[in-house]
Structure 1
Amino acid sequence: MSKNDDDLDAHGIELIQALASEAADPTIMIVDTKDLTPGLPAGVPVAFDRKSQAFKSVKGLIEEFRQAPDRRKGTATVETLASFIDLVKRHQDADSALFGKTVWPDPKLTAVLDYDREGVAARNRSHRIVYAFPLTEEFKAWVNGNAKPMEQDLFAAFLEEHAAELAAPSDGERSTYEPLFKEKFATPSELIALSRHLEVFVSARVKQGIRLQTGERTIEFSEEHKDSKGEVVTIPGIFMVSLPAFVDGDAVRIPVRLRYRIVSGDVKWFYQLYRWEFFLREQVGHDLKQAAAETGLPAFEGAPEA
């Protein structure tokens, strides 16, 4: 065999190897999607696998080399209304929207920064900010003790500890709630005086309770080893608390009914927060309106699409 024949054989082998390799290697193709449906890029890269005769996506392989996100997504959680408003201002655009779930027990404000609207291509709705109205420790204490009977010493200590949250009723509150409950409002100083009276009579027995024409009640304490008439203590029927329900939020004013029960000479005390869920819903609604006013975004009561 001549040298030329050897060269032709080698070239043929190389050509066969190249054709075989080309037949096995996948081919990257660009599929034109320009007129298929809204929301797609003009062209989509796919790999054609000659062995399996199937098209495969190359998105996963390409995403491994991404140096920056393709879009904003994720949910930021803030602890105060002020932070919610400031962060929304930082990221919002013309189509962002606010949603407010105002119903207890889990009120929430949600800003969907990449929201969409009629006449514009739909967006991902996956870039969000959430404010879940964390309760203050003081408000938790009032809610946790609501309508729960307490021993006299514990009740007196509770009033002392939460003296800063007691408030004087306004004229409007007096005219609304005193006729409603047929009870007299107590001032903070009267409640503190009551708590100190109760501390004195912790070991005493209760003889009787009487309702006065003024709407107040009285109970008479007497020491068991004495025959004296005892001490009469006036008990107000309602009082007002004013405290922030949410961290760094505005104060919420709630009327509170003061109650006691006498059983075999012992007295149990409890209080009832009047419609406190309503006052919280009112505060959440107010905060939603404030966020809408300060950001200039539309606000809706409810929750956005999942």
Structure 2
Amino acid sequence: MSKTETLTHDSDAAQTACPGETLEAVLKAARIADPVIDRPNGFAFAFVPEGFRMQDVSDPYQLPPRIQQRVTVDDADSLIQYAKRFLDDRSVIIADLDTLTIGVVLDWHSQNQVPEDIGVTLQPQPCQHIAALKLRNSEEFARWSAMEGALHSQMEFAEFLDENSSDIVDPDPAVMIEIARDLEATRGVAFKSGTRLQTGERSFRYETETHVKGDLVVPQRFCLSLPLFFGEAPTEIEASFRFRPNPDGLKLGYVWRRVEHVRQAKFQEIAFRVAEATGLPVFQGRAE
């Protein structure tokens, strides 16, 4: 056998005699090319040089599997029930008056109290499971607010009072309906004077074109009972009448009396009601 034939024979034998060594070489090359294996839930493993054994190289501060959900509810009772379902010792309430939002952060950061063997003083939490109540104006308050602050014609104002008289608690709604009818009847008359009565009410004196005189007494203030926010119980608020005689008739309207203070107080009441029902601490402010 020639030398050339001998080398060829040895090469063929090496390829056919040790297929496992060839496979192992291919696997080693693949491990060297991409040594890190990512697994679910943030785990990662890497092949290290000592025999290519697998070693855990996961981030020790990687957050564990968690709920990532933001829920917006429409009323306080829904917020309370949702919070009770998921809350734990991390959960807190953050009440943001500027946006009228009461949020329960169910996975807020843990307290700065951890076992000594952990070796850290703080445990970061995801803060990604939040139930929030965004307070909205009730339908009743929205209707009255749309008319507030502007002067309206007698016809428009009388029709509005007649339609929404059920929200009025002082004076009696029947009296307000009667006033509404009288206001509509005085359209186009000439107002001569206005005097303040001892009761605090104001008396308008007018003459019609037929020179028949009459007096119309309108309360200086009136009181409403209506929900300020959707899903809440009615609250009493006050409004003051405003008027302005014009050549084309009397313009009438009203303005709120410190209603924003009442709304802020109601917001605080809702926040503390949620805190009392869930047993969670409440913080006034916002999370940046």
Question: Smaller-chain TM-score range?
Answer: 0.7 to 0.9
Q: Paired residue for 2:245?
A: 262
Letter in 2 for 1:124: P
Q: 1:261 touches 1:267 (CA, 8 Å); kept in 2?
A: yes
Offset at 1:44? 4.8
Structure 2 residue 182 is the aligned partner of structure 1 residue 189: no
- In 2, Cα distance between equivalents of 1:281 and 1:154: 31
- In 2, Cα distance between equivalents of 1:202 and 1:109: 47
**Structure 1 residues 94 and 15 mapped into 2: Cα distance closer, same or farther (>3 Å)?**
closer
Paired residues for 1:1-306 under 5 Å: 1=5, 5=10, 6-11=12-17, 15=21, 18-19=24-25, 22-25=28-31, 26-28=34-36, 44-47=43-46, 70-103=65-98, 106-115=99-108, 116-120=110-114, 121-168=123-170, 186-224=171-209, 226-228=210-212, 230-264=213-247, 266-303=249-286, 305-306=287-288
Query: Kindly, what percent of the aligned residue pairs are identical?
Result: 26
**Structure 1 residues 16 and 86 mapped into 2: Cα distance closer, same or farther (>3 Å)?**
closer
**Structure 1 residues 93 and 265 mapped into 2: Cα distance closer, same or farther (>3 Å)?**
same
- In 1, Cα distance between equivalents of 2:193 and 2:88: 67
SS at match of 1:131: strand
Max Rg structure: 2
Letter in 1 for 2:156: L
Q: TM-score, normalised by structure 2?
A: 0.79
**Structure 1 residues 49 and 219 mapped into 2: Cα distance closer, same or farther (>3 Å)?**
farther
Aligned Cα root-mean-square deviation (Å): 3.0
- In 2, Cα distance between equivalents of 1:12 and 1:86: 68
- In 1, Cα distance between equivalents of 2:283 and 2:169: 33
- In 1, Cα distance between equivalents of 2:250 and 2:92: 54
Q: 1:254 touches 1:279 (CA, 8 Å); kept in 2?
A: yes
Q: TM-score, normalised by structure 1?
A: 0.75
Q: 1:147 touches 1:270 (CA, 8 Å); kept in 2?
A: yes
- In 1, Cα distance between equivalents of 2:105 and 2:24: 54
Q: Paired residue for 2:119?
A: none
Offset at 1:4? 5.8
Structure 2 unpaired stretches of 5+ = 50-56, 59-63, 115-122
Offset at 1:191? 2.0
Aligned length in residues: 258
**Structure 1 residues 267 and 288 mapped into 2: Cα distance closer, same or farther (>3 Å)?**
same
**Structure 1 residues 18 and 280 mapped into 2: Cα distance closer, same or farther (>3 Å)?**
same
Offset at 1:223? 2.2
Q: 2:95 touches 2:271 (CA, 8 Å); kept in 1?
A: yes
**Structure 1 residues 9 and 254 mapped into 2: Cα distance closer, same or farther (>3 Å)?**
closer
